[in-house]
Structures are given as C-alpha cells and as structure tokens.
Structure 1
Amino acid sequence: MEINKIGEVRSKYKEPVGPDEMRKTKSIIEVEAEYVDGLDQIEDYEYLQILFYFHKSEGYDLISKRRRGPERGLFTSRSPRRPTPIGITTVELLKREGNKLHVYGLDAIDGTPVIDIKPYASFMDQPTLSLQKKTPRYRINKLIKYQNQHDLLLKAGELHGHYCPYLALGVLAAADVLKRFGAENDGMEDLLAVVETNSCFSDGIQYTAGTTFGNNSLIYRDFGKTAVTFVKRGDSTKNLRYYFKDSDLIEREYPEAAELFEKVVADRNGSREEEEKMKELWQETAFKIIEADPDKLFKIEADVEIELPDYAPIFDNKQCSRCGEKLMAPKAVQKDDKVLCKECAESSYYQLDGSGIVEK
C-alpha cells in the first residue's frame, strides 16, 4: 500500500495540544507543486475534509479512556494513536493563495503531512440525513446517549446565538435528566419541562430536551429561579427538579467574565472591545461548566409535587370582524356584537419578555 504526501500543514502549534483549542485557530495547508492543478475551483467550496498523517503518533491501545466518558474501543474514538495513524477533520476554507489554503478548524500541528483534500458535501457526508427526517432528534439523542455534552452545547449555541454559563447549565441539566430517565422526546407533550426563569438557562433546556413552547411541553412559571422540573407523563418515577445551587460560581471562579458581564450587559456601558472580550470569556466559561458533574452544581430533587396541565386542546378559529385575521376562539373578544382580536378590541393581554410575564 502506498500513500502519497500532497502537502504540509503550517500552524502555530509545534507540538500537540487539546484538539478543541487547535480548532479555534487558523492554519495553512501548503500543497506541493505537482498537485496544485488539483486545487482548480476549490474556492467554490465553503468546507473541506482534510486527511492527514499523525507523524508523531507512536503505538496504540485497543481499549483506552476517552477524553470524555468511559473507556471504549479504539475505533469508537478520535485518538491519534492508531494502527494506521490517519486523521480527518472538516475545516472552513477561508481563502486560497496559489498553493496555499488558509483554513479554520484544523487540529493538526505544524509540519503534519497532508495526504488528501476533499470537498465537504452534506448529501454524501451526513449518512443519517434520511434517518433524521424520520427521527428529527436522532443526532441529539446520540449525543446524550454517549454523554457528549460538549457537542450538545455547540448545537445549542446555534439556537441561542452565543455561548454563556447559563446556556451550558441548561444543556447539562437536560442531558442529565434524559440520561437518567432513559427517555427520548418525540415532541408529543409526554416529556414536560417546567422552567422557573426565562434566562439563557431555558434555551439550553429547550434545545437539549426538545421541550419547547411550540410543542406545548415547556411550561413557564415566573419564579425567577434557575430551576427546572422534568416530568414524564404517566410515569410517577420520572419526576426530577434541578436547582442551580452554586449561584456564586461565576463570580468566584470566573471574576473577569462576571465583571465584564455587569458592565456590558447589566449596565449597557461597555465598549465594543469589552463586549467581544466578554463573549470570549463567556464561551470559555461555558465549555468548562459543561464538563462539570451535575450533582455538584444542582440540587436534584425527586418526587416533586407539581400540577400539570392537560394535553394542549385544539381550538376552533374565529375571524376578527375588523382586521379580518383569524385567531384561536378563546382569545377572541366579543364587543358590541362583534368578534374582535385583542389588538383591535384594545383589550389587555399578557406578554412574556425579559422582565417575565407582564400585563399590557
């Protein structure tokens, strides 16, 4: 078997460090002159798959401890110590300069031999797409099963818009309860989450547990506590409340991040540079918290008494006689023998915003 080197990595990392850290940096792939023509039109692709040789890897263990989770077989891990030490990483192509590809997210050290470059194509490189159409939470369920909270947080950030400690806490609580329940959520109101805050914590719950306002399985109680109760309908043994008990954790362990949060978010008085620094520190903090033991961060109570609503009813529609728009019948207002929506009737209503539930 013959493997040809087609290029080499140029990176600030001369020795291996954690792959998570390396994926946050830019690097360059220098393609050898005889293969440069093969880069024709590569700029058309946003992402590339890079195959490379772990040239500093020595030996291997068929059973070893993973970075996260229990011991597993070598071929269920991404360890560089392998019988044939070949790595593969999907990177973002930033630009091409002649024989140089500037990329982001490559976890290979300086001097690493590159043995192949392929365009990333979702229709070929995501073999679970057809299964995911049938089971939308397939990937999330897999991440929970294998206790990969790191990647759960990455995906939750897509919903939330940024990474922060309380998003991580929500992900951590939801992943832990689903693991304990041995449950998968199909969004049919059988698994409920009763949240007591409308902070970032709740977004972590919604994404990870699949309990959302839209599928009527997220219930909001305006208590202002970083807490959530998970309930499985029809199973009295599956009832757990998580309360974040170490409320001083952020200020104590991450004082710079906490100080910037007060200035940038609470006081709305930070500069653009301070905002970017806060986001950077908030992200670092979130990815440290997500690896914590839930039992150390939360007070977890079983058999909590909680009154649950019935399954969401299906209402008939009525039409507002003024604006012509349709609305759920129970929300219609009868005024002067006319059916009106609350807006046209200038009637009071409730609104959930950053302050909680307020009457307008």
Structure 2
Amino acid sequence: MGTSQKTLEAYLQESSALHRHLCPRQVLGVRMGMWAAELLDLNLPQTDKRLLTIVETDGCFADGVAVATNCWVGRRTMRVEDYGKIAATFVDTQTGRAVRVIPCSTARQEAHTYAPEARNRWEAMLLGYQRLPVTALLTAQEVALVTPVAAIVSRAGHRVNCARCGEEIINEREVIQQGVILCRSCAGDSYYRPVETATAVPSLP
C-alpha cells in the first residue's frame, strides 16, 4: 500500500511557507495528494517522475497538491487545465491508472462539526478539513485520459519551427495542417492576438 512519507502537519507547514499563510484550499490540495498515495499505491512525495498530476485550477490549491506529491509545473509532472474547479487527477504513468479527486459536496457543512471552536466559517473549513475523515472530505473516481499519457509528456529534445511565424515549438505541441507544421497560435488556437500599433504621425511645426 502506498503511503505519504510526511505527516499532514509537515506538508501544511511547507505549503503555508510558499504563501506565508495557510488556507482551506491548501489543506484540500495536500489531503488530495496524500490520498492519491493510497489510491494509486505509490509512495509520495515522489522522488522520480512516475506520477503526473492534472489540477483543474491554479493558486493555493495547486501548491498544496504539489507539496504533497512533489509534482510541479517546472518539472513537467503537473499540468493545469483551468476548469475553475477544486479537483485533481492523479495519473500513474507506469500503469496508466488515473483517479480524479474532488471535495465531497457536504465537506463545508461537515467541517463545522469537526471544528466547534472555530470563530467563523473560514476557520471552520481550515480546521475541519484537517480533521475530517478522508472519505467524508473527498471523493474519488477512476477515469481514463482523453489524451494518452505519452502524448501529454511527449519526447524530450523534439523541436520544430512553425512554418508561418518561424517560432520554435517544443514538446510535440505542433499542429499539422495540410502537411504544414504550425504552432497552435498560427493554427487558430491562440489565447492572444497581436496589437497593431498605428504609426505615429509627426507633429507639424
């Protein structure tokens, strides 16, 4: 059975150090990561790159997950698919097993029961999320990725240039249209658009 190699308190200290405070979403992220160790029978935080984590929002929650799993965007073991949800999918890249974990719909209400000394709703969640039994706090579902793990991770050292803008594309993220290599932006899937700057007209004397 996989285990988390640190205590919840130790993980929360690490997560709060990144933000200079501790919040309920960090607690959720850490506990999701710790539960992933059991669900996928892995020892976490990992020392290699076997686990791939896909989080569905950014911010404090993602850092909580990262601390508990040692999956990071910079190590290419974490992906952010911004659905605006406190949810994460944990993928064992060796076996292909994937589980998606979300908070139970009743977790906010139940948190008050486990933190009777809380002075407000926020503090009740902060304390209660640490104390709730995991099955009362979180729920998990086994899932299959739409994009294969190999395509998500890609091949190191693969580089091509976009035939339209000339920019380099790494990690096999190019798009082929009618036999032409394009970056996603030039292929029409862009999150930005160029701003055309009008040529300044010199002032008349």
Instruction: With the length of structure 2 as denominator, give the TM-score of the two structures.
Output: 0.64
CA contact (8 A) 1:197 1:221 kept: yes
Moved segments of 4+, more than 6 Å: none
Shift in Å, 1:310: 3.0
Q: Does 1:186 align with 2:26?
A: no
Task: Tell me which of 123, 133, 147 is aligned to 1:293.
Answer: 133
Identify, as 1 or 2, the structure richer in strand.
1
Structure 1 residue aligned with 2:74: 214
CA contact (8 A) 1:194 1:229 kept: yes
Superposition pairs for residues 54-69 of structure 1, below 5 Å?
Answer: none
- AA aligned to 1:305 is A
Shift in Å, 1:330: 1.7
Q: Does 1:305 align with 2:108?
A: no
Structure 2 residue aligned with 1:225: 85
CA contact (8 A) 1:192 1:231 kept: yes
CA distance in 1, matches of 2:144, 2:22: 33
Task: Tell me which of 80, 99, 120 is aligned to 1:256.
Answer: 120
Superposition pairs for residues 169-180 of structure 1, below 5 Å?
Answer: 169-180=28-39
CA distance in 2, matches of 1:292, 1:221: 27
Count of residues paired in the alignment = 159
SS at the partner of 1:330?
strand
Shift in Å, 1:250: 6.4
Structure 2 residue aligned with 1:157: 16
- Which of the pair has more CA radius of gyration? 1
CA distance in 2, matches of 1:329, 1:212: 23
CA distance in 2, matches of 1:255, 1:168: 18
Task: Tell me which of 178, 188, 196 is aligned to 2:56.
Answer: 196
Q: Does 1:330 align with 2:151?
A: no
- Higher RCO (C-alpha 8 Å, min separation 6): 2
CA distance in 1, matches of 2:85, 2:111: 19
> Structure 2 vs 1, CA of residues 257 and 186 (structure 1 numbering), >3 Å: closer, same or farther?
same
Shift in Å, 1:312: 5.2
Instruction: With the length of structure 1 as denominator, give the TM-score of the two structures.
Output: 0.38
Shift in Å, 1:201: 1.4
CA contact (8 A) 1:145 1:179 kept: no
Shift in Å, 1:298: 1.5
CA contact (8 A) 2:111 2:127 kept: no
Shift in Å, 1:305: 1.0
Superposition pairs for residues 60-79 of structure 1, below 5 Å?
Answer: none
CA contact (8 A) 2:89 2:101 kept: yes
Query: Considering only aligned residues, what root-mean-square deviation do their CA atoms show, in Å?
Result: 3.3
SS at the partner of 2:11?
helix
Could you tell me which runs of 5 or more consecutive residues in structure 1 were left unpaired when the two chains were aligned.
Answer: 1-140, 259-280, 319-327, 332-347, 351-357
CA distance in 2, matches of 1:223, 1:164: 20
CA distance in 2, matches of 1:195, 1:166: 13
Structure 1 residue aligned with 2:199: none
- AA aligned to 1:242 is V
Residues 129-154 of structure 1 show CA distances to partners (whole Å, capped at 9, x for unaligned) of xxxxxxxxxxxx99x236x2122111
Residues 54-99 of structure 1 show CA distances to partners (whole Å, capped at 9, x for unaligned) of xxxxxxxxxxxxxxxxxxxxxxxxxxxxxxxxxxxxxxxxxxxxxx
Shift in Å, 1:359: 3.5
Shift in Å, 1:290: 1.9
Task: Tell me which of 22, 25, 47 is aligned to 1:166.
Answer: 25
Amino-acid identity (%):
19
CA distance in 1, matches of 2:90, 2:61: 14
CA distance in 1, matches of 2:81, 2:100: 13
